[in-house]
């Protein structure tokens, strides 16, 4: 039978659609965390385009910044907005909570607006190291926000949840098995009440699980147990063989929920990932190994022994953030699957097939000039060198210089140059920032080494890219120049 022209065209259209959909055939339920604690930020539109180019459908934010949210307009990407811990107390006032919802959720709730799906109330507010600071505010804030969402008529589609650290549950010392999981003693009652409230509102439990931190925090931790390739000695629990800490951790939560009477509560993993610098175990090879285990499991809806099936997960994180606190460790600034400039760091296949492909990088990124600041080995007076290095590393990110990190193998001059350059770049290549009491000089040579990237910063949104710096300029120009660029 002959096809007429119409059906012939139809088949072509179907084929093309098939090809297009295959390109973005990403793991269902896969999201990313987009944190913005960076000295130089990519423009929100650039980042959102990058998400689209990679077929990423879900994003978790750490605030509800207007310019960020505007960039999501009309994209249909699912967004989780957030109330930072510091703002929780304010939400104890119901009127305030209602205003928050009005301004940061319902305002975007229209056709062609932003597809807001969750409000994260706080960020790991019960973390042990916070010593209970947010313990009293979190649950009332959660209630006020969900009630305000319900009152505004969006509660059916927008759910409030509290992204918690995995340290809110544990197994007892004597019986460290997933099946023995319970909520941590000091927050157990609170957790039970919160879970009950979220359950009534059909909101999911949200937890951050970090196999990297298990390894980082415990010198005796079996390395293979942090990954998914089955190399670890299994831990047996009621006939289940656990071969990775992610499953064991997740199922500890499932058991804790069950013990609290909410064994079927949906769980989303708010953060999971592996850093690439700042620690001996934080490197590209380990990150590749981790994601090559994680992504196919997501694609196959493997789930965990106690919760087989699809698990929604948000990778942590999208971009490196060079202004994050390093209190938890130097790795904290290197969680990105993309570098600071939106370029992919390593091969990664979001469809879970482990093909040797790279993510699509940010497009049309504007960089500062190709120039670097380096230590001047001819400097005569080096007595102030340490002071200057300390200064540079206080205001810029020197974590790649640390033990086990990408720049640890340089000589002293290389160390000095790294610190001077990263400060100079952080200061938008302001020439004043490459002096260091005569210890530094400008260079047009890329002084990177094979493992250590001496970066050239991106031009911040809103900052004009300077094309040339006048060699001689009048005092007035100079002072104006300083006025505008410092």
Ligand X SMILES: *[C@@H]1O[C@H](CO)[C@@H](O)[C@H](O)[C@H]1NC(C)=O
**Which of the following is catalytic: 28, 135, 271, 321?**
271
**CA proximity to 420, closest of 403, 399, 396:** 396
Query: For residue 395, how many C-alpha atoms fall within 13 Å in the half-sphere facing its CB?
Result: 14
CB of 31 to ligand X, least distance (A): 19
Task: Check: CB of residue 223 under 8 Å from CB of residue 290.
Answer: no
Instruction: Give, as ranges, the residues between 129 and 148 that touch ligand X (CB under 6 A).
Output: 129-133, 135-136
Select the span of 100-108, 189-197, 228-236, 427-435 touching ligand X (CB under 6 A).
100-108
Angstrom distance (rounded) from CA 120 to CA 146:
10
CB of 400 to ligand X, least distance (A): 9
- Tell me the per-residue interface mask from 422 to 461 with ligand X, x by CB under 6 A, - otherwise: ------------------------x-x----x--x-----
Q: Which residue carries 């415990």 as its tokens?
A: 218
**CA proximity to 341, closest of 52, 53, 42, 34:** 42
CB of 353 to ligand X, least distance (A): 28
The answer to whether 328 contacts ligand X (rule: CB under 6 A) is no
User: In 72-178, which ranges are continuous DSSP H helix?
Assistant: 94-104, 135-151
- Tell me the per-residue interface mask from 10 to 39 with ligand X, x by CB under 6 A, - otherwise: ------------------------------
Angstrom distance (rounded) from CA 26 to CA 313:
13
Select the span of 24-32, 99-107, 154-162, 424-432 touching ligand X (CB under 6 A).
99-107
Angstrom distance (rounded) from CA 292 to CA 227:
9
Closer CB to ligand X, residue 44 or residue 402? 402
The residue within the footprint of ligand X, chosen from 27, 33, 57, 100 (CB under 6 A), is 100
Closer CB to ligand X, residue 165 or residue 199? 165
Closer CB to ligand X, residue 136 or residue 285? 136
Select the span of 236-244, 270-278, 409-417, 478-486 touching ligand X (CB under 6 A).
409-417
Task: Check: CB of residue 267 under 8 Å from CB of residue 311.
Answer: yes
**CA proximity to 76, closest of 24, 18, 37, 14:** 24
Instruction: Give, as ranges, the residues between 58 and 77 that touch ligand X (CB under 6 A).
Output: 63-65
The answer to whether 111 contacts ligand X (rule: CB under 6 A) is no
CB of 270 to ligand X, least distance (A): 17
How many residues make contact with ligand X (CB under 6 A)? 24
Respond yes or no: is residue 374 known to be catalytic: no
The residue within the footprint of ligand X, chosen from 45, 55, 89, 99 (CB under 6 A), is 99
CB of 485 to ligand X, least distance (A): 21
**Which of the following is catalytic: 28, 66, 102, 124?**
124
The dihedrals phi and psi of 448, each to the nearest 5 degrees, come to: -65, 155
Closer CB to ligand X, residue 39 or residue 106? 106
Angstrom distance (rounded) from CA 54 to CA 46:
13
The DSSP secondary structure of 338-397, one letter per residue, reads B-TTS-B-S---TTSS--S--PPPPSSPPB--S-EEEE-TT-S--TTHHHHHHHHHHHS-
Angle at 32 between CA 207 and CA 288, to 5 degrees: 95
**CA proximity to 317, closest of 356, 358, 287, 285:** 287
CB of 419 to ligand X, least distance (A): 8
The answer to whether 415 contacts ligand X (rule: CB under 6 A) is yes
Angle at 40 between CA 34 and CA 41, to 5 degrees: 35
Closer CB to ligand X, residue 297 or residue 441? 441
Q: Which residue carries 């990088």 as its tokens?
A: 361
Closer CB to ligand X, residue 78 or residue 341? 341
CB of 7 to ligand X, least distance (A): 51
Closer CB to ligand X, residue 53 or residue 65? 65
CB of 83 to ligand X, least distance (A): 7
Radius of gyration of the chain measured on its C-alpha atoms: 25
Query: Which residues, at least 6 apart from 27, have a Cβ–Cβ distance to it below 8 Å?
Result: 295, 298, 299, 350, 351, 352
Closer CB to ligand X, residue 212 or residue 454? 454
Respond yes or no: is residue 124 known to be catalytic: yes
User: In 152-221, which ranges are continuous DSSP H helix?
Assistant: 188-200, 211-217
Grouping H, G, I as helix, E, B as strand and the rest as coil, residue 434 is coil
CB of 103 to ligand X, least distance (A): 4
Task: Check: CB of residue 49 under 8 Å from CB of residue 363.
Answer: yes
Closer CB to ligand X, residue 257 or residue 455? 455
Angstrom distance (rounded) from CA 269 to CA 166:
10
Select the span of 110-118, 174-182, 410-418, 473-481 touching ligand X (CB under 6 A).
410-418
Select the span of 4-12, 57-65, 72-80, 310-318 touching ligand X (CB under 6 A).
57-65
The residue within the footprint of ligand X, chosen from 18, 21, 74, 103 (CB under 6 A), is 103
Instruction: Give, as ranges, the residues between 302 and 321 that touch ligand X (CB under 6 A).
Output: none
| CA trace torsion 88, 90, 94, 99 (10° rounding) | -100
Catalytic residue annotation: 124, 271
Residues interacting with ligand X, by CB under 6 A? 63-65, 99-100, 103-104, 129-133, 135-136, 370, 401-402, 411-412, 415, 446, 448, 453, 456
């Amino acid at each position: 039978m002959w096809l007429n022209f119409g059906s012939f065209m139809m088949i072509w259209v179907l084929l093309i659609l098939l090809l297009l959909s295959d390109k973005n055939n990403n793991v269902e339920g896969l999201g990313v965390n987009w944190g913005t604690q960076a000295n130089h930020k990519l423009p929100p539109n650039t980042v959102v385009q990058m998400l689209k180019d990679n077929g990423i459908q879900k994003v978790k934010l750490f605030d509800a910044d207007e310019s960020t949210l505007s960039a999501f307009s009309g994209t249909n990407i699912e967004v989780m907005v957030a109330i930072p811990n510091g703002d929780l107390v304010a939400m104890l006032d119901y009127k305030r909570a209602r205003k928050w919802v009005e301004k940061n959720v319902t305002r975007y709730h229209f056709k062609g607006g932003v597809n807001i799906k969750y409000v994260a109330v706080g960020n790991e507010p019960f973390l042990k190291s916070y010593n209970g600071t947010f313990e009293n505010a979190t649950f009332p804030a959660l209630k006020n926000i969900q009630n305000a969402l319900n009152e505004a008529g969006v509660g059916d589609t927008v759910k409030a949840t509290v992204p918690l650290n995995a340290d809110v549950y544990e197994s007892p010392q004597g019986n460290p098995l997933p099946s023995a999981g319970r909520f941590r003693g000091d927050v157990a009652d609170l957790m039970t009440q919160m879970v009950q409230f979220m359950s009534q509102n059909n909101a999911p439990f949200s937890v951050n699980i970090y196999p990297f931190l298990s390894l980082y925090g415990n010198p005796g931790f079996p390395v293979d147990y942090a990954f998914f390739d089955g190399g670890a000695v299994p831990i047996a629990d009621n006939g289940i063989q656990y071969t990775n800490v992610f499953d064991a951790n997740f199922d500890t939560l499932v058991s804790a929920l069950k013990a609290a009477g909410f064994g079927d509560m949906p769980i989303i993993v708010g953060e999971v990932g592996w850093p690439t610098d700042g620690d001996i175990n934080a490197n590209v090879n380990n990150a590749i190994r981790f994601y090559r285990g994680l992504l196919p499991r997501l694609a196959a809806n493997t789930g965990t022994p106690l919760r087989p099936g699809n698990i929604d997960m948000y990778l942590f994180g999208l971009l490196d953030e060079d202004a994050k606190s390093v209190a938890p460790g130097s790795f904290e600034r290197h969680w990105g699957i993309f570098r600071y400039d939106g370029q992919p760091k390593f091969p990664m296949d979001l469809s879970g097939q482990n093909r040797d492909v790279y993510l699509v990088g940010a497009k049309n990124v504007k960089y500062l000039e190709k120039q670097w600041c380096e230590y001047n080995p001819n400097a005569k007076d080096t007595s102030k060198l340490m002071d200057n290095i300390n200064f540079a590393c206080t205001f810029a990110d020197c974590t790649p210089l640390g033990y086990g990190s990408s720049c640890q193998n340089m000589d002293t001059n290389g160390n000095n140059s790294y610190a001077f350059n990263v400060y100079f770049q952080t200061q938008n290549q302001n020439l004043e920032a490459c002096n260091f009491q005569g210890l530094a000089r400008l260079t047009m040579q890329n002084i990177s080494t094979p493992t250590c990237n001496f970066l050239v910063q991106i031009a911040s949104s809103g900052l004009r890219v300077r094309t040339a710096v006048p060699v001689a300029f009048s005092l007035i120009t100079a002072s104006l120049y300083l006025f505008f660029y410092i």
